[in-house]
Structures are given as C-alpha cells and as structure tokens.
Amino acid sequence: MKSFRLIVLFILVGSIQGFTQSLSRVTSGVDLGLGYQEEEWVPAALYHQELSLANFQWFRIGWGVRTWGYYAGRTNLTPKDNALSRDTLEFGRLSANGASFVLGANVRLWRFDIGANTDLFGIAFGLRRNGLYTKPGFSEGEGAKYYNAYVKSNPSTLNFLPLALDNQNGNSEVFVRYWITDRFGVKLGYTSGRITYATEAKLDNGQKRFSKTYGVPYFALSFPLYN
C-alpha cells in the first residue's frame, strides 16, 4: 500500500509542476470497468477531462468524477489505532457505493495513456449492516457492553483524501489505456482503495470508523467524448 501511494503521489506532484506551462487542448472520456480479486468486486465508471500542455502535448493534467462500488463476502474491519487494542468489526458480507471527485495525470505515448489518479473527496452510501464487535483480552473500555455483540453500522458518508488518510472511503489507480481506434480503447490498471464503515455507537477509545485497504486488478472499456 505504501509503495502504491508513493507511485500515485509521484505522478500527481509532476502534474502540479506542469501547471507552470501554458495550457492548450482539452479532451474528455469515460471508462467503464471492473476490478476483481478473491471475492472482492469493485465496479467503477470514471468521467475524466485532461488538459494538455502547449509545449508538451504528450503530458496531460486531469480531473473528473468516479462512481464506484465495493462488494465482498466475509470481511473484518479494524479502527485506525488497532495495534494494541485489536478491536475488530466482523461482517458476513459488505456492500457500498460512492461518488468522488478525482485528480490525475498521464502521458501519451503513441496510442498509450500511462498515468494515475486518486479520489480527493466524495460520498459513500449503502445498506445498514450488523457487525460483530470483538476484542480479545481482559481489559474493558467504554465499548465493553458491545463486546461479542452485533453493532449497527453504515458506509462512512463523507470522505476526504483516502490515499493519505485512514478511515476514509475511496480509490486510487495506476493504469495503461490503449486506444484501439480513435473512438474506442481498453484500459488495464490496478485499483487500491479503502472501505470504511461507521458504527452508530461509540466503541473503545471513542472509535466509530472501522476500515480495511484492498487492491484489485482492473479492466475497463474507454470511450472519448470529444477530442
């Protein structure tokens, strides 16, 4: 996860430096795809726009909107500070959906776009689910009455910078997009994200958000809207 964050941040920092150049052409498109690995399904649709630089037409700064879903079977979520407490919220299955504002950058090499993007902020929603709250050991905290009991929870609604901050919902990706024709392409990538649920009751250490990170290979169909 740390290596993935460094790759995405390196590409995005380069994009910020590119703003010092004059801007020219605007392009946009849509990617419709799915990530999957070990019973984790991550469908997503990304609307993206890019600005190319007048002096460097191969370099593009982008932004857009991503709608996404996360569906998985048995899953354990933990709070941010879990090294000592070992709190766990156990679910038989999870499902969440969301929409995020995205920042990205890519370079164009012949028919290939090579780049990265990350969610800056967004919202998430989904069914209320009961998670089994477990905590091994003998010490008791403020959430003691919920030990080994089911706690009502929902996907955390408001989320910010999931690439850098724990206990947020959102995604980042690195990708290669190949344009088969001027009107159709395919995209291969790797999506790294975080799924976060918020409990209705405060548990030990005042914790209400429990999360986990995931990473899945990703395939999408790409369509330009105008060029």
- Cα–Cα distance for residue pair 151/135, rounded to 1 Å: 13
Q: Quote the DSSP letter at residue 22.
A: P
**φ, ψ (nearest 5 deg) of residue 65:** -130, 130
Q: What is the pLDDT of residue 86?
A: 78
Cα of first residue to Cα of last residue in the chain, in angstroms, is 35
Rounded to the nearest angstrom, the gap between the alpha carbon of residue 198 and the centroid of all alpha carbons in its chain is 17
Q: What is the pLDDT of residue 135?
A: 84
- Cα–Cα distance for residue pair 48/209, rounded to 1 Å: 30
- Assign a CATH topology to domain 2-226: Porin (2.40.160)
Whole-prediction pTM value? 0.85
- Cα–Cα distance for residue pair 207/88, rounded to 1 Å: 11
| Residue with tokens 């330009």, as numbered in its chain | 224
Query: pLDDT tens track of the chain, all 227 residues?
Result: 655 555 555 555 554 554 444 556 788 999 999 999 989 999 999 999 998 877 778 889 999 999 999 999 999 999 987 656 678 999 999 999 999 999 999 999 999 999 999 999 999 999 999 999 998 765 677 888 899 999 999 999 999 999 888 889 999 999 999 999 989 999 999 999 999 999 999 998 889 999 999 999 999 999 999 75
The residue type of 224 is P
Rounded to the nearest angstrom, the gap between the alpha carbon of residue 216 and the centroid of all alpha carbons in its chain is 11
